[in-house]
Amino acid sequence: MLGKTSRITVGLCLALAAHSLNAATNVVLARYTFDDSLIETGPDTFFVVEKARGRVALSNQFAYSGDRSVQLQDFANDHDFPELQGALPVQKSGKLHFHFAFMIADPSQALNIALAGPQHFGLRRDGISFWLLTENGHLAHISANTTQPLFTPQPFVWYVTDMIYDIPRGRYNLRITDGTKVLTDLKEVANAADIPGSAVSKYSFIGDLWEDVSNVNYFIDDVTLISSVSDTPPPFVAPGRRKLFIDRWQEQQRHLQRKPACLPVAAPEDFGLSLSWLKSNLSTDELRTFKQVLSGQQPPVTLPASVEAWRSGIGAWYQGCHALDDGQAQQAAAAFATARQQLPGGVLVDLAHIQTLAALRQWKDLDGELAKASGLWGEDVRYSVVVGQIGFLRGDLQVFDQWSGVDAETLPEADFIAWANAYFGAPLSTERLGVMLADPRQSPCLQRYVIAEQYFFSLLWRNLNDQALAYAQRLATHLAAVPKARALWLERSGDAAFLDGHRKAAANAYLAAVALVSYSPGALGKLSDLAHLSGDATQERNYREAVYGSLRQ
């Protein structure tokens, strides 16, 4: 822990760095000393991930300034990593100053610190722009897709980092000190992917990302992000939150009125690949190369034969995405057909194929493909986004009604309930859904359930919230004998009520959904919104932390 003189010196460095942004107005996007009495998690501040044995917690054992820092502790072979991830308004222009202090108990253990954009944590446009990591006992950063060593950190020494990122030019200055001397002072280095204009919307502190061999234990403090060109962030409507569910829904609604486009890759499993297999069968260098492939690059490095086929399929998927974005749906369909052959089980590939069918207005084929994909996405919002977009693209609601014909309510109750128990009763797979589609008793249930989902989302996206509410309530009643299905449609009825301004009805629906299942993050998050609107700060925090975790000593 530094003394007062060192802190004053660092404060002057921070002030000078902020001054060097050469902007008339600097906007503080985030500032955390972790000494406040309330440190709120949430979708627009930060969230905490403590899966497996990992730990993220406040600590008064060490602090760079004040009395507390945040401790992140990872454990090898626990198949996950701890994370503190923060959200920002999307930054597309100007300069961004990222300041933080960190201290590592054992620098030989791996950690990762990054700034990324709307395309998440991959080396691609609007993906990772700044990446700091430890590797083989050395601190390094990734610039222009290359790992570049910086220095060898010492145990239990606070290092202060100031990074100034020129977003349009894709260049940054990096300065790291130990409080007494400058250890790194880089100027005009390329961002991680060497892509100018790569936006920033989040920052992340984690342990080991891929290899799962790290036992890192490190501390962070004084996290600050300042923008020289930024719209003033929306006012905080509750601690730890800038936007309510209804704000996010309306933004999503505007987005879905655009033409179909591929959704971002979240994990190797999106392509039907196993992260554990990749970790077990690829070397560290091969893993790094394959991560570049996942982000859309094709580095000139040969991978094992079994992986090269996947690489080809991923490349075909990206080609299809570019064609779809350019309005060339036929070319996209051909590329996605190739990708599907080489990446069986790739849900993101199948979803892109479905989006292409929507762009081509091939509704009959699309309905069959949606039935095959139904339920494989769990609570992943990307599937709901595409289903809503498809409902919107079908056009006039009367045409939609004529297309939809008979919906799930009109099916024989015994057949439908038996099917729903099977559908919601066990994890779904492509094979199970294929069996359902081939069964003359189950196939009508599955296909009409998919129609019911499209119809509901179509009502919502047309702002016919009262009709959507009534429809979801009827489905929840019809599925009363299947708790998971009833909970899902109760939550959807709550969404419609919330969007229509009926807060009490929405809260009752969400509470009923939560009571039926062991964990419902969607309903809990919306209950947090409603608690804020009613002025109940305690309940707001309880519901929110049930989803995002909390920082406690």
Give the model confidence (pLDDT) of 89-108 as tens digits: 889 888 999 999 998 988 99
Q: Tokens at residue 295, please?
A: 């982000």
pLDDT at 399: 47
Are residues 220 and 296 located together in one domain of the fold? Answer: no
Are residues 71 and 219 located together in one domain of the fold? Answer: yes
> Is pLDDT above 90 for 319?
yes
CATH number of residue 157's parent domain: 2.60.120.200
Q: Which residues, 6 or more positions from 69, have their beta carbon under 8 angstroms from its beta carbon?
A: 34, 58, 59, 62, 63, 101, 103, 219, 220, 221
> Is pLDDT above 60 for 370?
yes
Q: How confident is the model at residue 173 (pLDDT cuts 50, 70, 90)?
A: very high
HSE at residue 145, side-chain half, CA atoms within 13 A, is 20
- Rounded CA-CA distance 462/473 in Å is 18
- Residue written as tokens 């003359």? 440
pLDDT in tens, 430-469: 788 888 888 888 888 888 888 888 888 878 877 889 998 9
The type of residue at 88 is L
The type of residue at 255 is H
Are residues 49 and 170 located together in one domain of the fold? Answer: yes
Task: Answer with the one of 404, 432, 464 that is the final residue of a domain.
Answer: 464
- Rounded CA-CA distance 220/218 in Å is 7
Rounded mean pLDDT of the chain? 78
Are residues 275 and 230 located together in one domain of the fold? Answer: no
pTM: 0.57
Q: Which is it for the CA torsion 265, 269, 270, 271, positive or negative?
A: positive
Task: Answer with the one of 464, 495, 523 that is the final residue of a domain.
Answer: 464
- Rounded CA-CA distance 380/367 in Å is 20
Q: Which domain holds residue 542?
A: 465-548
CB 155 within 8 A of CB 104: yes
The number of domains in the chain is 3
pLDDT at 49: 52
pLDDT at 252: 56
Residue 44 lies in a domain: yes
Q: Within 10 A of 185 (CB to CB), how many other CB atoms are there?
A: 11
Of residues 69 and 235, the one with the higher pLDDT is 69
Task: Answer with the one of 421, 447, 464 that is the final residue of a domain.
Answer: 464
The secondary structure of residue 62, as a DSSP letter, is: -
* Beta strand extents in 77-199 (DSSP E only): 83-91, 95-104, 112-116, 128-135, 138-143, 146-151, 159-166, 171-177, 182-190
pLDDT at 254: 60
Q: How confident is the model at residue 168 (pLDDT cuts 50, 70, 90)?
A: very high
pLDDT at 73: 86
pLDDT in tens, 18-61: 334 344 456 788 877 776 544 554 454 455 554 545 677 777 66
Residue 29 lies in a domain: yes
The average pLDDT across 377-385 equals 69
Q: How confident is the model at residue 11 (pLDDT cuts 50, 70, 90)?
A: very low
Residue 553 lies in a domain: no
> Is pLDDT above 50 for 16?
no
